[in-house]
Amino acid sequence: MRRIERTGSRTAEWTCLSRAFSSLETDCHYHSNDHIAPLLLPWFVKPMLRIPLVRTIYKRMAPKGVYNYVVARTRYVDDVFRQALADDFRQILIFGAGFDTRALRFQQESHNLRILELDVLSTQSAKISQYRKRNLTVPMNLTFVPIDFDKESVPVKLNQAGFQKGQRSLFVLEGLLMYLEPASVDATFRTIQEYGGEGSWVVFDYVYASVLRKEKLYHGESEIMASVTKAGEAWHFGIERGNVGKFLAAYGLKPIDEKDAQALEKMYFTDAAGRIVARVNGVHCLVTAEKR
């Protein structure tokens, strides 16, 4: 996390670029709706986004299945976000928000609730700067909260930002847990347990613990591990496959949905004939859990 503090997260930037490419895809399997992501990129990058050959090369240069995973993850979290708005949640807290644009994309539906974004100062400052350059108005109900997850107290930050304990809330941890130290993961989920009201949801993704042990069991595992190491953003946390229920139970949470790579392929990358048209990187799992 140290390099991220100083210069901003390369993985957050890469995720933003992937979402921008995806927003312009004409193939429904690869298309997601982050229409703001292209606006956050440097001006000289945007013309290239519309060139199909450039998108094809970009996908081939990424670790196997990672682009497809980001597309699927964006769509999955969008669906959870949208459902929380429809179910009258009162607050949304996005941990490690990066270049997440949901507060802007869903501002009409979410104007009656509070949205807080937590992230390291460098990444958050880069995002706010791009909003200003592109004349994108920050909704009145959005609060930016700078934090170093490994050094600062999330509860202290939330109290300072006016987050209300006990209300039904959605907690989003997208592309975050694997970068945190185990102690920081524990502190984050204990905060969710303390601050979330009954019926609150948590949506997050995690990597299997075997990936950290470099057992090379999954599609694209070697490539993505090499990529995050090269970026200086190594992974520190994973959950043993099949143990997510036990992990969540320690924090008063119960999984209500879980999608591994194969489930995401069936959900988003299956054609009319029932054929899988794209592989998803196999090291991740997506989970929605509820406080009961």
Q: By residue range, what is the domain housing residue 213?
A: 2-291
If pLDDT is split at 50, 70 and 90, which confidence band does 11 have? confident
pLDDT of residue 2: 39
Q: State the chain's mean pLDDT as an integer.
A: 92
* Number of separate domains in the chain: 1
If pLDDT is split at 50, 70 and 90, which confidence band does 292 have? confident
For range 222-239, the mean pLDDT: 92
Tens of pLDDT along 63-80? 999 999 999 999 999 999
pLDDT of 13 strictly over 60: yes
pLDDT of residue 163: 96
CATH number at residue 116: 3.40.50.150
> Which residue type does 42 have?
P
pTM of the complete model beyond 0.85: yes
- Per the CB < 8 A criterion, the answer to whether 142 and 42 are in contact is no
Tens of pLDDT along 156-173? 999 999 999 999 999 999
CA distances from 152 to 25, 103, 148 (A): 39, 24, 6
Residues 6+ apart with CB under 8 A from 29: 268, 269, 271, 277, 278
